Structure 1
């Protein structure tokens, strides 16, 4: 999909290290005779609710790119970009996405095979806690292909068929996550879409929301911010108001992150508040799907801190992250490295380069070569620290 004008403006702005307010100021300086744009104007351009038509020449000037580049991106903007809360079905491919999964005559599949498959699904999910991206993508894809084959080639009752589809949906969520962690974003999107289709065919809105929310999270982190907001909200809608508390909290977290990456502070903070409220309704007697075993108050705290870091509010982010990291399971090295990366950036934003360098050093020492997600965060942290290259601790880290 071609980059829209909003996505292009956001990418170019971030490449210069500018906030939305700073871009608005630069445009005001470049066009002194015009009513100056505001930070909110820039935000609306980036998420696609408004077009910067009359500002294109000035955007080209301050962002130092050819005007033709912006005009081509503007041509890719949908004619009707009015945001709405859509259904996950809007994000599925045309036609029958489950056509390859239609059952045909073969060996009889019963509850025993479904139970065995469910155990393998959970085993793969636990493996993702300690084996990452490029090291796990092969086994993940093999399990997904085996589940699809079981559904396609076996005969089964309607109820067993639904359970097989749920297994395909869960495996697709895990395999998509692993592929994304390996940096294979196009492959991850194809896998996620298969999982969304399978979950919806099984009539499981909560699972559909989990798979769709995972794709929305990938889009948030790869520049498709307007699409991410729409899909994250569609995932929440698909799960429904009676979804388990942990599910609603997680899906609201993804809504908050999508809005954060789109530069929408207020809806991001609103979604975070709603996520905390949802999780507070959870109790020991509330049954949640097994794939939400990891979702708890600590994870919610991490997301809140990440939002604050992205919004350049380090005084709020640092205490939250230090609290979580003080009790985090060190065996989950990838997540530990990722959380340390956010803390390092927050320290840098707070003008504490020595603490930032020390935190970044811990992150780098954890390694995680199989995770492209971690590698990308490492590049971001080191780029952020270059502004403090004259500080001895930072210089030593950058030279290592």
Structure 2
């Protein structure tokens, strides 16, 4: 009975998109008792079956707005559980410390040094492409894992090392994906999810999972991408920083788009904007989310509208983004222009689409990015529908495969 109650509590909570902390708060309110007699950890124990709610059961039911019978009813076997990030961890722990470690003692100074190198690699990715950065990124990641596994350190230093390994894995995975090394990128992302999970940094784990979901959605694994993007959002809950939740929802929107689910995609875009609007001076987002802002959400919105062929919405958004974008970020500039070229073609403006496409080709010529190379192929394929237009014909003849 306890397992059925726990499964029902979790299902009903997630249907309301509540975190465990939110359910604990609403349960406390339902009791009318001042203070916090029940917390998130208690809700977690109930949901996993480690503890029975007993006297709290009617108050939990009242908080969820259901009769007690809805919580005690047997769980329907046909309903699969929601995905969690635990489903995506490596089969074996790649971060298990070596037995009888004889490496040097690692102090907080080594963590600070690693943090600076991770940040430097992240800034380099703003202006350089994956093909340029893949080797130093992998070298740094191997070195950091070796430091954790072979060195001796306190539990707190070990936890902070795991956080830095997670952050390094996120950027290294992104770089590997940009270089077209998708299997390597997935291995790196899963390593990072393991590190962040062990460090109990759920925001970082969600960021890594979202990055892997994004790659899956873009490489023919749309179903897996959507499942993982939703797992990142579900595991983070409403306690995640607003900027992080906005990013998770953005990736859910893209995953729905790639899966051909238009209305859920548009709904997730709106929820992302709402999440970002909650940010204020008192909310602290991790430093690695410095790039997530209203402009980035606008980029994703324009891409979704391009993908679902709504150019009247996509074109103005993309033009606005491009007028404000840093031209030194060459790869992103080429990518955003590529979406504009497709949107213009969908708007039946082939001449202008060809002009923008030529800019994409020129900009990306010296960029070692598989992403931009793939976008060029997509543009040329789309413009073949207008091969009889002189400007398009000239573009196609000059860029024959």
TM-score band by shorter chain is 0.7 to 0.9
Task: Please tell me whether the aligned partners of residues 103 and 152 of structure 1 are also in contact (alpha carbons under 8 angstroms).
Answer: no
Task: Please tell me whether the aligned partners of residues 87 and 235 of structure 1 are also in contact (alpha carbons under 8 angstroms).
Answer: yes
Structure 1: unaligned runs, 5 residues or longer: 1-79
Q: Confirm or deny that 1:346 pairs with 2:343.
A: yes
TM-superposed deviation, 1:85: 2.7
- Give the Cα–Cα distance (whole angstroms) in 2 for the partners of residues 276 and 308 of structure 1: 15
- Give the Cα–Cα distance (whole angstroms) in 2 for the partners of residues 220 and 81 of structure 1: 26
Task: Please tell me whether the aligned partners of residues 101 and 151 of structure 1 are also in contact (alpha carbons under 8 angstroms).
Answer: no
One of 376, 383, 390 as aligned partner of 2:381: 383
User: Partner of 1:125 in structure 2?
Assistant: 122
Aligned pairs (5 A) from 1:340-379: 340-367=337-364, 368-379=366-377
Aligned pairs (5 A) from 1:84-99: 84-99=81-96
User: Partner of 1:73 in structure 2?
Assistant: none
Q: Confirm or deny that 1:308 pairs with 2:305.
A: yes
Structure 1 pair 83–305 and aligned structure 2 pair: CA distance change class (3 A): farther
TM-superposed deviation, 1:263: 0.5
Q: Secondary structure at the match of 1:283?
A: coil
TM-superposed deviation, 1:178: 0.5
Larger radius of gyration: 2
Structure 1 pair 391–136 and aligned structure 2 pair: CA distance change class (3 A): same
Structure 1 pair 271–154 and aligned structure 2 pair: CA distance change class (3 A): same
TM-superposed deviation, 1:153: 1.3
Q: Confirm or deny that 1:294 pairs with 2:291.
A: yes
- Give the Cα–Cα distance (whole angstroms) in 1 for the partners of residues 345 and 361 of structure 2: 16
- Give the Cα–Cα distance (whole angstroms) in 2 for the partners of residues 102 and 174 of structure 1: 29
- Give the Cα–Cα distance (whole angstroms) in 2 for the partners of residues 398 and 139 of structure 1: 37
Q: Confirm or deny that 1:190 pairs with 2:162.
A: no
User: Partner of 1:211 in structure 2?
Assistant: 208
User: Partner of 2:323 in structure 1?
Assistant: 326
Task: Please tell me whether the aligned partners of residues 83 and 230 of structure 1 are also in contact (alpha carbons under 8 angstroms).
Answer: no
Q: Secondary structure at the match of 1:136?
A: helix
TM-superposed deviation, 1:284: 3.8
Structure 1 pair 354–100 and aligned structure 2 pair: CA distance change class (3 A): farther
Q: Deviations over 1:313-334 (max 9, x none)?
A: 1111001100000111000010
Q: Deviations over 1:119-167 (max 9, x none)?
A: 0000000000111111110000011111111111111111110110011
Q: Confirm or deny that 1:281 pairs with 2:278.
A: yes
TM-superposed deviation, 1:96: 3.3
User: Partner of 1:250 in structure 2?
Assistant: 247
Task: Please tell me whether the aligned partners of residues 97 and 150 of structure 2 are also in contact (alpha carbons under 8 angstroms).
Answer: no
Q: Deviations over 1:282-302 (max 9, x none)?
A: 124432111101111011001
Count of residues paired in the alignment: 321
Task: Please tell me whether the aligned partners of residues 206 and 240 of structure 1 are also in contact (alpha carbons under 8 angstroms).
Answer: no
- Give the Cα–Cα distance (whole angstroms) in 1 for the partners of residues 174 and 237 of structure 2: 23
TM-superposed deviation, 1:84: 4.8
User: Partner of 2:258 in structure 1?
Assistant: 261
Task: Please tell me whether the aligned partners of residues 208 and 238 of structure 1 are also in contact (alpha carbons under 8 angstroms).
Answer: no
User: Partner of 1:47 in structure 2?
Assistant: none
Q: Deviations over 1:182-223 (max 9, x none)?
A: 000011111111000000000000000000100000000001
- Give the Cα–Cα distance (whole angstroms) in 1 for the partners of residues 197 and 289 of structure 2: 18
User: Partner of 1:225 in structure 2?
Assistant: 222
- Give the Cα–Cα distance (whole angstroms) in 2 for the partners of residues 124 and 245 of structure 1: 25
TM-superposed deviation, 1:177: 0.5
Q: Secondary structure at the match of 1:139?
A: helix
Q: Output the aligned Cα RMSD.
A: 1.6
- Give the Cα–Cα distance (whole angstroms) in 2 for the partners of residues 166 and 103 of structure 1: 23
- Give the Cα–Cα distance (whole angstroms) in 1 for the partners of residues 225 and 100 of structure 2: 33
Structure 1 pair 187–204 and aligned structure 2 pair: CA distance change class (3 A): same
One of 167, 171, 183 as aligned partner of 2:168: 171
Structure 2: unaligned runs, 5 residues or longer: 1-76
User: Partner of 1:153 in structure 2?
Assistant: 150
TM-superposed deviation, 1:399: 2.0
Q: Deviations over 1:43-99 (max 9, x none)?
A: xxxxxxxxxxxxxxxxxxxxxxxxxxxxxxxxxxxxx99765311111123343433
Q: Secondary structure at the match of 1:241?
A: helix
